[in-house]
Amino acid sequence: MLDRFGNIFVGGYFSLLLCNDPNGHPYDLLAIKYNSSGNRLWKRTYNMGGNRRNHFGGMVIDAAGNCYITGNGQYYESTISILSKLVTIKFSPNGETLMDKILCL
């Protein structure tokens, strides 16, 4: 995704466990910003807590260059119930987390 300044944004999710990092979560949300030359400006990850699987939902960039990502997390509270959470995170043009809102379903 491109902003009006030509910066490139990439979003998704990844697992540090796949990279043999014992402190990694099963899946974390990911946002990366590159300048128009392809140099990384910042990388941010987000985990809703615990060892939940966080899945990327989407990304938008507003006119000011703020980046919004959405996702969801699912985890077992007991052997029979699955709880879901939705999240929206707002990053400033410099990568600072300005907002994170979690909705429990």
Please write the tens of the pLDDT for every residue from 48-70.
Answer: 766 667 788 999 999 999 999 99
- Cβ contact 52:73 at 8 Å: yes
Please write the tens of the pLDDT for every residue from 26-37.
Answer: 678 899 999 999
Please write the tens of the pLDDT for every residue from 9-27.
Answer: 999 988 765 555 555 556 7
Read off the DSSP letter of residue 39.
Answer: -
Tokens representing 69 are 């990502």
